[in-house]
Amino acid sequence: MSQKILVVGGVAAGASAAAKARRTDEKASIVIFEKGPYVSYANCGIPYYLSGEIADREDLFLVTPERFATRFNIDVRTNHEVVGIDAEAHTITVLDLAANRRYQESYDRLILATGNEPVRLRVPGSIPGGAFSMWTVPDVDTIQEYLTAHRPTAAVVVGAGFIGLETTEALLTRGLKVTLIELRPQVLPQMDPGMTEPLVTHLRRKGVDVILGDGVANYEGDDHGRVQAVLLKSGRRIECGLVINAIGARQRADLAQAAGLKIGETGGIVVDDRMRTSVRDIYAAGDIVETVNLVTGQPTRLPLAGPANKQGRVAGANAAGGNLSFPGVLGTMIIRICDLTAAKTGLTESEARAAGFDPLISYTHSPDHAGYYPGAETMMIKITADRNDGRLLGAQIIGPKGVDKRIDVFATALMAQMGIDDLESLDLAYAPPFGSAKDPVIIAGMVAANIFRKEMAVITPDELAEQLQNGAKLQIVDVRTPQEYSAGHIADAVNIPVDELRARCQEVDCERDTVVYCGVAYRAYLAYQILSQKGFKKLRNLSGGWRSWTMTLPG
């Protein structure tokens, strides 16, 4: 007899699970229950539809119920909410929202892919018109209609994570004046604070009023019941005609919890590498599950579309009798913010410390392709490695171009558990329009490996700033040209250009704790070698040089 597989939830994980189940078992009866009106759509593309970059709304829809039926022989029931699971009886209770009718459906295998839902901003009283979340296609439809009907000129975006930043860019593209409010002291909390400072600077140059460390206390409505201002906890009042709430999301695990499925320490459903839950014949995938961080080996919950699709594929195959596994996640992510791209894979410095590592940190600045070929632009790379064994732990990149290619190289290196010295030997494609003979990834590996091999000691910008703030008596040597020094330098730094250093090294005290720096740390590396071989023992190079100093520190 053919088996019956029910999938609760569509979009990334659910739709992938159902399609893979069909490819695994042609005879199975497969049904998808989706609470909303659409079963498979590109929710990651919603901000780009709002901006107008995706012009046709229909391009957001990946597979329609009709295509599921004709190509995959899968029964899709939209506007059907699953409200209960009887694991012992192998049945679910379904609410047909259109008919307001409840019924039960039996299953042999059940796959849960209920995903996340937006966290609602709690304010006193009623929420006026013009305040929205942007999570689903109906959400963006409502926002589009409001923009067309009322033509607001100013908007407030609450929350500076992925959705908040992408929405900010979309509204800027549409010509609105945007204020971005974030309760935490930084944007994009998935990255280290210093790596997000260039994003704040960039947004402000684009005209965005970025407010950090403040939150929304209430809304102020006009006589028509539409929002006219946002009142902040600090007492500040921001006039606007539109508010987009993007303060975060919570997993829809209530259904699973009520059915007795084990919930992990991260709040996600506990699954094994086959995506099996703690209850027989029930699988789960996507934003609701707890998985393994491949760097730390610890449980994590990572609501991203890439892992959700792969988890759904594994759950669908195994529910239908296959044998696939999902090893875990690295947390690879990327976002475009106007003309800059930010990306991360593996652990940040703060995450590495929290996980118990002694992190080795290195900053480098490299052009996306050969500097002599027109159009080269610089990206900043921050590597995190294990100081004890040189293992790569993570990478973060900020830059205008070429970030996507490099973050994927780092992610592949992490998947292979490579060390930073392995990065030095990577055989990457090179031609002047595409890269350099020493690619930015290779340069980053060389610099980090030099630190690991103790060929050079470094100090990071935040470490130097903290030491100076605490009154450390450091001897700081700026080895750039006098013109560069005059344009801006670290307070109390002595200027001795690297080309003059051999003849003038008597001007610095070899007994003092000394920091050398230049533009991006290359000339300072040369200076470091000169001074260290002349007897300087307490010597460090400022990682990433003046550029990292000015880019990563607040203000």
SS (H, E, C) 75-139: EEEECEEEEEEECCCCEEEEEECCCCEEEEEECCEEEECCCEEECCCCCCCCCCECEEECCCHHH
Residue written as token pair 């906890």: 233
pLDDT band at 506 (very low <50, low <70, confident <90, very high): very high
What digits encode the pLDDT tens for the residues 115-156?
Answer: 999 998 888 888 899 999 999 999 999 999 999 999 999 999
Token output for 25? 């078992």
Q: Considering the chain, what percentage of its residues have pLDDT values greater than 90?
A: 95
Helices (H), 174-268: 193-205, 254-258
Both 392 and 492 in one domain: the answer is no
What digits encode the pLDDT tens for the residues 322-340?
Answer: 999 999 999 999 999 999 9
Q: What is the count of structural domains for the chain? A: 4
Residue 202 lies in domain: 131-247
Q: Looking at residue 62, what is its pLDDT?
A: 87
Mean pLDDT of 435-460: 96
Both 141 and 214 in one domain: the answer is yes
Both 107 and 254 in one domain: the answer is yes
Q: Looking at residue 554, what is its pLDDT?
A: 87
Mean pLDDT of 304-317: 96
What digits encode the pLDDT tens for the residues 208-260?
Answer: 999 999 999 999 999 999 999 999 999 999 999 999 999 999 999 999 999 99
Q: Backbone phi, then psi, for 64, in 5-degree steps?
A: -85, 165
Q: Looking at residue 46, what is its pLDDT?
A: 95
216, 231, 247 - which closes a domain: 247
Q: Looking at residue 59, what is its pLDDT?
A: 93
| Residue 520, domain CATH | 3.40.250.10
Task: Specify the amino acid at residue 395.
Answer: A
Both 463 and 446 in one domain: the answer is no
> Are residues 191 and 344 in contact, defined by beta-carbon separation less than 8 angstroms?
yes
- In this predicted structure, the answer to whether residue 555 has a pLDDT above a threshold of 80 is no
Q: Considering the chain, what percentage of its residues have pLDDT values greater than 70?
A: 100
Coil/strand/helix, residue 142: helix
Whether residue 510 lies in the annotated active site:
no
**DSSP conformation letters of 150-179:** H--SEEEEE--SHHHHHHHHHHHHTT-EEE
Both 343 and 431 in one domain: the answer is yes
Computed over every residue of the chain, the mean pLDDT equals: 96
Both 112 and 173 in one domain: the answer is no
Q: Looking at residue 126, what is its pLDDT?
A: 82
Mean pLDDT of 255-282: 96
> Are residues 33 and 17 in contact, defined by beta-carbon separation less than 8 angstroms?
no
Both 191 and 165 in one domain: the answer is yes
Tell whether 297 is covered by a domain.
yes
Q: Looking at residue 71, what is its pLDDT?
A: 96
Q: Looking at residue 99, what is its pLDDT?
A: 95
Which of 125-134, 369-378, 438-447, 448-457 bottoms out in mean pLDDT, i.e. has the lowest?
Answer: 125-134
CA distance 427 to 444: 14
Tell whether 326 is covered by a domain.
no
β-bridge partners, 378: 367
Mean pLDDT of 515-523: 97
| Nearby residues of 262 by Cβ (< 8 Å), 6 or more positions away | 269, 270, 277, 278
Mean pLDDT of 352-364: 97
Q: Looking at residue 449, what is its pLDDT?
A: 97
> Are residues 188 and 196 in contact, defined by beta-carbon separation less than 8 angstroms?
yes
Tell whether 513 is covered by a domain.
yes
What digits encode the pLDDT tens for the residues 381-403?
Answer: 999 999 999 999 999 999 999 99
Q: Looking at residue 244, what is its pLDDT?
A: 97
Both 306 and 364 in one domain: the answer is no
Q: Looking at residue 274, what is its pLDDT?
A: 98
| Residue 373, domain CATH | 3.50.50.60
pLDDT band at 411 (very low <50, low <70, confident <90, very high): very high
The interaxial angle of helices 545-552 and 193-205, nearest 10 deg, is: 70
Q: Looking at residue 366, what is its pLDDT?
A: 97
Tell whether 122 is covered by a domain.
no
Mean pLDDT of 8-26: 95
Tell whether 328 is covered by a domain.
no
Both 344 and 446 in one domain: the answer is yes
Name the active-site residue from 44, 338, 505, 510.
Answer: 44
Tell whether 438 is covered by a domain.
yes
Both 260 and 223 in one domain: the answer is no
Both 431 and 526 in one domain: the answer is no
What digits encode the pLDDT tens for the residues 170-212?
Answer: 999 999 999 999 999 999 999 999 999 999 999 999 999 999 9
Tell whether 343 is covered by a domain.
yes
Both 462 and 520 in one domain: the answer is yes
